[in-house]
Amino acid sequence: MKVLNIGSMNLDYVYRVDHIVQPGETISSQGMNIFLGGKGINQSIALAKAGAEVYHGGMIGEDGEAFLDACKEYGVHSRYICRIEGKTGHTIIQIDKEAQNCILLYGGANQKLTHEYVDGVLSHFQDGDILLLQNEVNDIAYMVDQAYEKGMQIALNPSPFDDRLREVNMDKISIFLLNEIEGGQITGLTDPEEIFEEMCHRFPKAKIVLTLGKDGAVYGEQGKRYEQPIFPVQAVDTTAAGDTFTGYFLAGLVEGMPIEKILEMSAKASSIAVTREGAVPSIPYRSEVQEALQQ
């Protein structure tokens, strides 16, 4: 079983601020860094660091060479990453004193996927393989339809949620990995428990992973339910915490680990990620996660 992730690659411009800038306000930042990020590549690197074999697809512009280097460094297959003219996606991220962030996204090359490109990449995958998607690239609905036709299992992290996701036939999704905000946007509900129940009811064949911030995560599959609390830590940067959880969760699933162990490993990995700056650089290796779990 192969894992293909067609997802975003962003250069994250990260600014440390006293507070998130308000409308009409100008403030000075206290520091700035450029990190590799993007939900797509963060999740591929988390999968690889967790020990899974993962193929990353997506587009970068002329300024995106560093993503190919990162794939090489972390063991992500990069042969389906396509270089095109123009700019790689980027973000402007503000992080305040409490480690809260806000993210402004510029799609760039991430929004240039074509049907021809998608068909070409999918032709290398088959029945039973996993396609992982987030919502930072274009044409998600098309990718879901094509992958489903091939009999692939589709894992969807519907983040960030927007109207384009309403075009996706969600009955074709095998694994949902979402937070309560995205769950609310899909179900129209606000109470986390009701969101979880409704997701399980609406998608009875799917695996549902609902992350609940400081309340941990809850997992459901065919009437079974598992809960996972967080590992409390002093956060410095929460960027990519969810991506780390997603990558580790899928890696555990591919490996055939018991669900309780997968959830515990994913929560621990994510708790380590928030103690470090940046997206890609914050994602821990499996050995670090295992060591931390033994302490």
> Where does this chain touch ligand RIB (CB under 6 A) — which range of 145-153, 175-183, 227-235, 237-245?
237-245
- Compose the 99-128 pattern: x for residues touching ligand RIB by CB under 6 A, - for all others: ----x-------------------------
Q: How far is CA 135 from CA 7, 33, 36, 73, 204, in A?
A: 8, 25, 18, 25, 23
Cα separation, 105 vs 10, in Å, equals 9
Whichever of 158 and 220 has its CB closer to ligand RIB, that residue is 158
Least Å distance, CB 10 to ligand RIB, is 4
Cα separation, 48 vs 205, in Å, equals 27
Is there binding between residue 135 and ligand RIB (CB under 6 A)?
no
Is there binding between residue 91 and ligand RIB (CB under 6 A)?
yes
- Inter-residue contact 71 to 272 (CB < 8 Å): no
Q: For the chain, how many residues are written?
A: 295
Token pair, residue 49, equals 């660091």
> Where does this chain touch ligand RIB (CB under 6 A) — which range of 168-176, 188-196, 240-248, 259-267?
240-248
Token pair, residue 259, equals 């669900």
- Inter-residue contact 170 to 154 (CB < 8 Å): no
> Where does this chain touch ligand RIB (CB under 6 A) — which range of 38-46, 55-63, 65-73, 224-232?
38-46
Among 3, 17, 39, 50, binds ligand RIB (CB under 6 A): 39
Is there binding between residue 279 and ligand RIB (CB under 6 A)?
yes
> Where does this chain touch ligand RIB (CB under 6 A) — which range of 57-65, 115-123, 224-232, 235-243?
235-243
> Where does this chain touch ligand RIB (CB under 6 A) — which range of 162-170, 172-180, 188-196, 234-242?
234-242
| Segment 2 to 21, residues that bind ligand RIB, using CB under 6 A | 8, 10, 12
Cα separation, 246 vs 242, in Å, equals 6
Cα separation, 292 vs 295, in Å, equals 5
| Segment 173 to 212, residues that bind ligand RIB, using CB under 6 A | none
Q: How far is CA 208 from CA 92, 183, 195, 219, in A?
A: 30, 10, 11, 6
Cα separation, 38 vs 13, in Å, equals 11
- Inter-residue contact 101 to 238 (CB < 8 Å): yes
User: Which residues are at the interface with ligand RIB (CB under 6 A)?
Assistant: 8, 10, 12, 37-39, 42, 91, 103, 136, 239-240, 242-243, 279
